[in-house]
Structure 1
């Protein structure tokens, strides 16, 4: 009888260990410091560190998948991965298609950068990454919008004369401007867009969303997210209060 009880216990434990939920995290891998591919060929950046900690606390077995930005929502819907961590701002338009957790980065500034302080950002040609809140803003601003598949292409468009300026998350543009040796300069005022950045999920995955929301709340309250934000975006970055 004792052997039968022990065997049953072992079987129950092994079954429980096998119940760990596997979640595939989709990211772009081309938007530093949010996410990028490092020299070892692995996903890196703020969202890698945040996502790994999120999964650890939620007791999820997570793997990372890279996907081009312009198809990142359709491939979530088709089941190629289970969640998006890719610097994606929460907007009403996106919430019609997918669900979001609460934000894990507060609303942050978008900005213009150009080769000259005289660049025309109101009536000229402005480059932005396709499918972003920045592209939507430019389209409604009166400027001519040039959309590109990757953020690096938007900067290249300015440098090769295709566009007068680039409009993107300021966090992405800061190292571009600082490392340009004076070639790239800031234009105009910063613009606040969106409701912060959240984890994108299929609308049907309510249980996963609730689980992730609970952990994000915990990470906000204990200061973990703020420390990660300061590490990757600097001491001047907006933090959670």
Structure 2
């Protein structure tokens, strides 16, 4: 005859084993190596950036080529890929209605009209260690001072060269002169105009010199006839 205590003992054993298994599960999760989660880029406000973006310099240089051309180069010296480098163009000294053409790498020349208010010059991706060169040209005579500015999205913490920014935002600005064709020489225009305008006067003066002796002859003969 079975003892009534045997089923009860088995039930206690099952419950004890189940509780032990449940208690062991968290311990296994704690011991497991955590999965790395990549830092989010491209978002305006990363979760680890409560104080807002910190500006970090984006190196930029400019060089003039042929007359009417200017090249501006931005250098990504960070350790992160810039997904959206926003660039703008403006006249540094104010003014308006300067017609220029802009070309980005691999693109065609595109017309832009500049003023003192920045205009969109395009958005670009830039890998670590790579450079972006924007080319400008104009047929407007004289020198024109331009400001070219670039600004990235917020990058992962520590990706800026200084390694001290919680949320670095790379920014760079360049101001240089775009020199168009030479202006027409006003002195030459004045000389040319004066030469054309003086032709009638020259003809009149020559005629006067030729007719002068003929006019004097009758005047000299009159006293002799009297």
Tell whether the structures are fold-level matches, with TM greater than 0.5. Answer: no
> Larger % of helix: which?
1
Q: What TM-score, normalized to structure 1?
A: 0.28
**Greater relative contact order structure (CA < 8 Å, 6+ sep):** 1
